[in-house]
Amino acid sequence: MKNIIFLGSKSLGEACFDYLLKSLNGDKYKICCASSNQDSSNVWWHTNSIYQIITEERPDIDFIPMDEKNLEVLSQKITEHEIDMIISVQYNWIIPDQILKMVSHNAINLHNAKLPEYKGFNAVNMHILNDETVYTSTLHWMIEDVDAGEIAYEREFPIAPNVDATQLYEMALMNAVEMFKEFVEDLNSEGPLPRKEMKGDSKFYSRKTLQRKVITDTDSLDTVTKKSRAFSFSDFEPAYFEFNEVKYYVIPETGYNTHENN
């Protein structure tokens, strides 16, 4: 039986944790510990279901708040529960090699974008800006380098024309959950989990890519339209241009953006 520690957050991490709990089949694995956000009021996704599930339904699972790295506590729990597998789904912190070595690098991470072409952050926004026609979710084996290691699972879907960031985010989330279900199905079986070499041109997108929402070329309809779609995401500032030091927000007609310009 695999003793698992689950590290995750946001809608995707919460959905995967819930599915992992509900898919227990005999004695193939056990979730011993989980780390996520404890408070829902100070995160943009406004939920903390992993914490709620553990507190209200599964007190047998140890909980580690992820507000801080808590590497010492993480190490203690891995030793205490004899953890032999880490599952990470949009965890807030980089997991150092010293932790990975404790489970003999038997650690898998869900990166909701294609690797190695879309390492880092803001993949949904960048797919629209880069005129991509296909979106790929990835589960990969973790090594010391971020968003690197062998590929375990991939699942893709076509990107519809004129999609905005909110729509693409929701589709990518559903795609990733379906891929995670395939992983859990294999986890419940006796066979080894897949591994293949990660190939492709590596590209890392930092958090600063969100600065591209400023529209400097207002004469280009393609630029204005593309940026309005790429940055139409609830609770976040939309794309904009500036005139006389005043911001003018640009929101696509079919977008779901709820940002109030005030």
Question: DSSP letter string over 117-174?
Answer: TTEES-HHHHHHHTT-SEEEEEEEE--SSTT-S-EEEEEEEEPPTT--HHHHHHHHHH
End-to-end, the C-alpha distance of the chain in Å comes to 55
pLDDT of residue 144: 93
Distance of CA 14 to the CA centre of its chain: 10
Backbone torsions φ then ψ of 31, nearest 5 degrees? -90, 110
Task: Give the model confidence (pLDDT) of 30-50 as tens digits.
Answer: 999 999 999 999 999 999 999
CB under 8 Å to 160, separation ≥6 — which residues? 167
pLDDT of residue 91: 97
Structure tokens at 27: 């004695």
The burial class, CB within 10 Å (0-12 / 13-18 / 19+), for 142 is buried
Structure tokens at 203: 């590209």
For the entire predicted model, the pTM comes to: 0.93
pLDDT of residue 112: 98
pLDDT of residue 254: 58
CA angle 131, 136, 177 (to 5 degrees): 135
3-state helix/strand/coil string of 223-247: HHHHHHHHCCCCCCCCEEEEECCEE
Average pLDDT value over all residues in the chain: 93
Nearest to 87 by CA among 67, 111, 68: 111
CA angle 174, 8, 150 (to 5 degrees): 75
3-state SS class at 29: strand
Rounded to whole angstroms, the Cα distance separating 123 from 228 reads: 16
Task: Give the model confidence (pLDDT) of 193-218 as tens digits.
Answer: 999 999 999 999 998 888 889 999 88
Work out the pLDDT band at 262, boundaries 50, 70, 90: very low
Rounded to whole angstroms, the Cα distance separating 233 from 205 reads: 18
Q: Is the pLDDT assigned to residue 260 strictly greater than 50?
A: no
Distance of CA 24 to the CA centre of its chain: 23
